[in-house]
Amino acid sequence: MPRQVDYDSRRRRIVAAAFALVSEQGLEGMTMRDVATRAGVSVGAVQRCFSSKEEMMAAVVEDMNERVSTRARDRIADSADPDSAATMLKHTLAGIMPHDEPTLAETRAWLAFAAHSAVTPAVAVVQRKHYEGLAELIALLLRTAQASGDVRSDADADGEADTLIALADGLSMQILTGRLTTDSALATLDRQLTALRAAQ
């Protein structure tokens, strides 16, 4: 096996192990040693891939964001009307929220990183960039839906994008506490999107 392939597959295994640990136990007490044990590699191998815990965590966050995006794209492609901005909007937002055990695990890890970023400015920067990109995407989809007459023309696209993202995050937290089911949270999100819809 060429060295690069070996390195990449080991890196992926370490990211997967770190993700599993964070989603099960939170960030508290997660050490490079725990991650190495879970990944079945030496601590030295972890250190060759990631110079710090922060760098490793950034890779986990990146991997999670990628999975969320891929899932949204897949859902859009599988939908009845994949080219409609309203469809993209709905699936992008619903895709943030957990709906089964793997996505619940992702959401637990996401919340752990969010809490960590609140006390670690370097991590907050990564998170802020992610949200800026997401807000731009949602605002763009809202404007596209306004242009095609699907969304009310008087809605403030940037403001509504902030609302929808905050709502999806807050609902995800409620699903994690077990107070809302995924279905009731999705119904709440749908009500918000319906209120944005232009009168037909």
Among 86, 89, 180, 193, binds a copy of itself (CB under 8 A): 180
Pick from 33, 166, 181, 183 the residue near a copy of itself by CB under 8 A.
Answer: 166
C-beta closer to a copy of itself: residue 41 or 114: 114
Q: Whole-angstrom Cα distance, residue 71 to residue 51? A: 30
Closest CA to 11 of 52, 47, 54: 47
Q: Is 147 in the site for a copy of itself (CB under 8 A)?
A: no
Helix-, strand-, coil-residue percentages of the chain, each rounded to 5: 80, 0, 20
Beta-bridge mates of residue 151:
197
Span near a copy of itself by CB under 8 A; candidates 42-50, 56-64, 87-95, 168-176: 168-176
Find the shortest distance in angstroms from Cβ 45 to a copy of itself. Answer: 24
Our finding on whether 28 is near a copy of itself (CB under 8 A) is yes
Q: What Å distances lie between residue 82 and 18, 79, 99, 145, 198, CA to CA?
A: 34, 5, 21, 13, 19
User: Cβ distance 154 to 95 under 8 Å?
Assistant: no
Residues that bind a copy of itself (CB under 8 A): 23-29, 107-108, 111-112, 114-120, 124, 127-128, 131-132, 135, 156, 159, 162-163, 165-171, 173-174, 176-180, 184-185, 187-188, 191-192, 195
